[in-house]
Structure 1
Amino acid sequence: MSQVPAAPSTEALTGLLLSLTDRTLLLPNVAVAELVPYRPVPKLSGMPDWCLGQVGWRDLRLPLLSFEAASGATLQFDRSSTTARVAIINALGGREHVRFLALLVQGIPRSMRVTPELQAADVPLAPLELAAVQHEESIVKIPDLVALEEMLGTLGIL
């Protein structure tokens, strides 16, 4: 009678590294629905700096957000940037009519294997950051996307 090989005790997930102007975020691969080119959008009147406007995507109008500015940093975005992209993020907050958000990113996301051996980094966290981890020679932050979505809901954007 042959034995079935045991499944590995540790599994790796695939994450995506999203470069921003001042930090890098780590999200699960499944959190990003699509990456689209950035096109300048008109600012929405009465909205905070971190809400850059709205982007059209698949017949939807999504709020375009600066994670950096929403988490307390100064908005440093150059609207004529040639490296800017928009990451369409699957909404996680459970709101019935909200399925996606749009985050402004720099460049193309890179894939990363997330394993139990990934080391936590003891660094200060900004608002909207849940944790930090050491990846190669840099620190990457894990964002609180549900809290970001709640901020949008509080403003009445969603």
Structure 2
Amino acid sequence: MSQAPVAGQSPQTLNSLLLPLTDRSLLLPSVALAELINQRPVEPRPGTPDWYLGDIVWRDLRLPLLSFETASNGAVPAAPSAGARVAVINAIGGRPHLKFYALLVQGIPRPQKLDTGLAPAGAPLAALELDSALVEGTVARIPDLVALEQKLADIGLI
């Protein structure tokens, strides 16, 4: 439960981003996003799961491009919309060979300043989702980025 601010103090806020996906929005802290880039040519990697869309090149690095929707609920990856972008994510799992990876997003993330006492939305959660929150009328999912990175490790790609 959040506490009321003391006189002269403002409530703590978290700079966040709402990342639009095909079937949901993800809520990430702003520092998780290294860069938002236009779609790039994707080099498929044979023998990988459907959620591993292939590799892209970013700043002379090869990054895995992932479909969060497919990784979390097994749905067939949707074709990218005309406004699709690639969100380059800072890896947080502490693996020395994984500093960044990429997620396909269906538009431009919206910045949000959120109170750290944000209440959960209580929406049903899919795999790789830690919680949900209501943000400006949108149910946003809080992804388990460490578990997503573990999925990459489990298939032997990092």
Residue 26 of structure 2 is matched in structure 1 by: 25
In structure 2, relative to structure 1, the CA distance for the partners of 1:64 and 1:8 (3 Å cut) is same
Residue 55 of structure 1 is matched in structure 2 by: 56
Mapped contact 1:17–1:112 kept (Cα < 8 A): yes
> Match of 1:104, SS?
strand
| Structure of larger gyration radius | 1
1:10 aligned to 2:17?
no
Matched AA of 1:44: R
Matched AA of 1:146: V
Residue 3 of structure 1 is matched in structure 2 by: none
Matched AA of 1:43: P
Q: Hey, what's the Cα distance between the residues in 1 that align with 2:13 and 2:70?
A: 31
Q: Hey, what's the Cα distance between the residues in 2 that align with 1:40 and 1:126?
A: 29
Show the 5 A alignment for 1:36-115. Answer: 36-79=37-80, 81-115=81-115
Mapped contact 1:129–1:141 kept (Cα < 8 A): yes
1:155 aligned to 2:155?
yes
Q: CA deviation at 1:40?
A: 3.8
C-alpha RMSD of matched pairs (Å): 1.7
In structure 2, relative to structure 1, the CA distance for the partners of 1:10 and 1:28 (3 Å cut) is same
Q: CA deviation at 1:77?
A: 1.8
> Match of 2:73, SS?
coil
Seq. identity, %: 55
Residue 140 of structure 2 is matched in structure 1 by: 140
1:116 aligned to 2:116?
yes
Deviations 1:79-105 (A, max 9, x none): 5x3211000000000011211010000
> Match of 1:120, SS?
coil
Mapped contact 1:66–1:75 kept (Cα < 8 A): no
Superposition misfits of 4+ residues, deviation over 4 angstroms: none
Matched AA of 2:126: A
Q: CA deviation at 1:42?
A: 3.2
Q: Please, what TM-score do these two structures have when normalized by structure 1?
A: 0.91
Q: Hey, what's the Cα distance between the residues in 1 that align with 2:77 and 2:152?
A: 20
Q: Please, what TM-score do these two structures have when normalized by structure 2?
A: 0.91
Matched AA of 1:33: A
Query: How many residues are treated as equivalent by the alignment?
Result: 153
Deviations 1:18-56 (A, max 9, x none): 000000000000000000101241321000000000010
Q: Hey, what's the Cα distance between the residues in 1 that align with 2:103 and 2:145?
A: 10
Q: Hey, what's the Cα distance between the residues in 1 that align with 2:8 and 2:70?
A: 43
Q: Hey, what's the Cα distance between the residues in 2 that align with 1:97 and 1:43?
A: 20
> Match of 2:22, SS?
coil
